[in-house]
Amino acid sequence: MSCIFCKIVSGDIPSKKIYEDENILVIEDINPQALIHVLIITKEHIKSANHLTKENIDVIGKMFLAAKVVAKQMNIDESGYRLINNCGTDGGQSVNHLHIHLLGGEKLGENLR
């Protein structure tokens, strides 16, 4: 197992857990790009959004529900937050394991670069 997120999910690599259920793990990002920056990770190894299938598509809904729970827990559900999924190298995906970035806690700019 060479996937860093799989190692985090299994407990082989320590992380700051924010939320966990049977399908999802949410951890603090080690290189935050906002006051609040967490990663919503699938426990099942799915390489990217391009690797979703009919059998595992329900995990996307579970990721968004986890985002809702975490946003409320971090008191940004009312003020707002951003969810980002990078897919593939040109899309900015640096870890080949499906995950969503949740950013908030401050006014975020509109620029994507």
Of 37, 97, 99, 101, which is the active-site residue? 99
User: 2-11, 29-38, 52-61, 103-112: which has the minimum mean pLDDT?
Assistant: 103-112
What pLDDT digit, counting tens, does each position of 51-91 carry?
999 999 999 999 999 999 999 999 999 999 999 999 999 99
How far apart CA 92 and CA 18 sit, in angstroms, is: 24
pTM of the model: 0.94
Say which CATH topology domain 4-104 has: HIT family, subunit A (3.30.428)
Domain ranges of the chain: 4-104
Give the CA-trace dihedral at 20, 24, 26, 32, to 10 degrees. 170
* 101 is annotated as an active-site residue: no
